[in-house]
Structure 1
């Protein structure tokens, strides 16, 4: 049998057998080590391939983002060159769509004017689109936060909107669907969510701005053809006026009501002065009501979508005498 046969071996034969066994063990260890090394190389190759793929994907995404940012920046420069964008008091007029914007801001009694605003006609080179934004900063760095958000939000929103439209058309086969308005609103909604998140992240990366103890409101209006999209963060307010069947203006701010704001604008003969007059009346109302706190900064954008035919609102004479 096996074991008895081993005991019959001579000492020399036994030692020779031991040497062969040890040699066999060394060969097996070396063989296993080679296999293990090959497995490690395969794993390393797989890991490097995965990393390379991830880096490639990130690079493509970064390139797409960079290209989108560059394109948006070029559109900003083009709008400024054509005087379709305003970030200071004045007017913006787009003749093709009878759109007119009057803008005015007045510093309060608290020091630096922390209000920032923007009007961009033909938003993103779209003739039927207008972007308006009012940003009321607060805190020691509020004016810088408001300014930075004004710089970031329009171009970021434009990029996200263009990407959302392209993705929607790709998924729907060049067709926005039967409920076009609902689809457009949803596209703007998702674009705003992404934009606000991107702006927040960018503010956190700004070394020269402390956005922890400072911030800003963000009231924006996008007009796309007959669609009006309003997005609001904070206590800034948008007031919409429409004309009733009787020809009266119907309002659809802390010191004056929506109705008063509509009547002030509609009773101003020169629409270029509407925003200025609205701000001045708000200042008068603030003083008249005897506010104990220092007057806040007051800014207004009056955006007209149609020809200005000076409708005479009811009780405008009474309103004027009350505020003056």
Structure 2
């Protein structure tokens, strides 16, 4: 993994990799977090540190309770008693009224999804009650992946992204985007915001960028619809409920890249997997990608301030004996200028217990993905996450805003 500071001030990106996650051998947890707002760097680091611990604890509790349906219900239930669960891989929601006979208590996805929904909610709640962090107008994205055997379970908030590299019939690299960029341009996201009295519109000077605004004030203009923190908007449609995705690995799948928008704003999905495939050593792959992203910012947008970058690369197979990655998928990169990066690594082993209607991208259980809609956010997009802050920023809510009823996709 690697991170590099942009030209906008303090590095607000964070990342983490846990091996033997939740005390289970060969289970991995990875995450990247892109903070925004005055204290975005603090929010990102708090979430980076607390989310894996909450998820590990939740997963262990579910295993100890024997995976009963009532136990899963308790983990899926929100504070108002509404069930938040959904069938894996179908996009169908379920509740206590129907379809419960088809529940598989041993489903890997059900267990991890329950834990993800619970842990995301708990982290956001604790963040709202922390007087040492200004999270009223500061927040962070989160894209996380749990790998257990051949299962990938991805949780996502905001516009950081997870992209997997697989191989085609002729050995060519193929990118598969595993997450949706959760922005106001998505009709269902905008509908939820409007149903909670939030506003979605673009400014005249950036007509291509839809933003989330307060009902009676032209602020903060957040460019995403789900995030930790940003409690000024939590009453008005901003959600901390992650979308959860599942993918079953195949022999053709090679690695997954988690990265903040400092990468995706200047490199396409294909460019990203091609660059990572060309790294001579896996241990250098994330830094290699970050270096290319920095160079892309300078060459494509010389008048723009480079964004912060955080990258995690998780490989699924051991390397082929005697072959470097660049021999497997050869490209000749230009000579690279020195990258002034500060890589903050947080890798752990065997941590202890102390320590919405979803998009279904797969074709049944075959590990294949449907075509990716164009409005996922592929390609170049130079956007400030938020534009300004409410007049009453200093009178920050001390507790979580009162929830309004709205359907949440996950």
TM-score higher than 0.5: yes
Q: Distance in 2 between matches of 1:229 and 1:300?
A: 18
1:164 is the counterpart of 2:55: no
User: SS of 2:34's equivalent?
Assistant: strand
1:267 is the counterpart of 2:278: yes
User: SS of 1:208's equivalent?
Assistant: coil
User: SS of 1:130's equivalent?
Assistant: strand
1:241 is the counterpart of 2:165: yes
Compute the displacement of 1:316 (Å). Answer: 2.9
Instruction: Kindly name which structure, 1 or 2, has the bigger radius of gyration based on alpha carbons.
Output: 1
Determine which of 114, 119, 131 is the counterpart of 1:190: 114
Compute the displacement of 1:213 (Å). Answer: 0.6
Going from structure 1 to structure 2, the CA distance change for 1:241 and 1:202 (only over 3 Å counts) comes to same
Greater RCO, CA 8 A, separation 6+? 2
Structure 1 residue aligned with 2:290 = 279
Offset from partner CA, 1:73-112 (integer Å, 9 cap, x none): xxxxxxxxxxxxxxxxxxxxxxxxxxxxxx1100001111
User: SS of 2:301's equivalent?
Assistant: coil
Q: Distance in 2 between matches of 1:233 and 1:169?
A: 26
Determine which of 211, 217, 242 is the counterpart of 2:141: 217
Offset from partner CA, 1:247-274 (integer Å, 9 cap, x none): 2221111210111111111111122111
Unaligned runs of 5+ in 2: 71-100, 177-263, 338-410
Q: Distance in 1 between matches of 2:270 and 2:330?
A: 11
Compute the displacement of 1:244 (Å). Answer: 2.4
Q: Distance in 1 between matches of 2:175 and 2:119?
A: 29
1:38-117 to 2 correspondence within 5 Å?
Answer: 103-117=1-15
Q: TM-score normalised to the size of structure 2?
A: 0.49
Determine which of 147, 164, 175 is the counterpart of 1:251: 175
Q: TM-score normalised to the size of structure 1?
A: 0.61
Going from structure 1 to structure 2, the CA distance change for 1:241 and 1:178 (only over 3 Å counts) comes to farther
Offset from partner CA, 1:135-170 (integer Å, 9 cap, x none): 111001001101111111001011112223333535
Going from structure 1 to structure 2, the CA distance change for 1:112 and 1:193 (only over 3 Å counts) comes to same
Unaligned runs of 5+ in 1: 1-102
Structure 1 residue aligned with 2:30 = 132
Structure 1 residue aligned with 2:42 = 144
Compute the displacement of 1:277 (Å). Answer: 0.8
Contact 2:3 2:287 in 1 (8 A): yes
Determine which of 291, 314, 318 is the counterpart of 1:307: 318
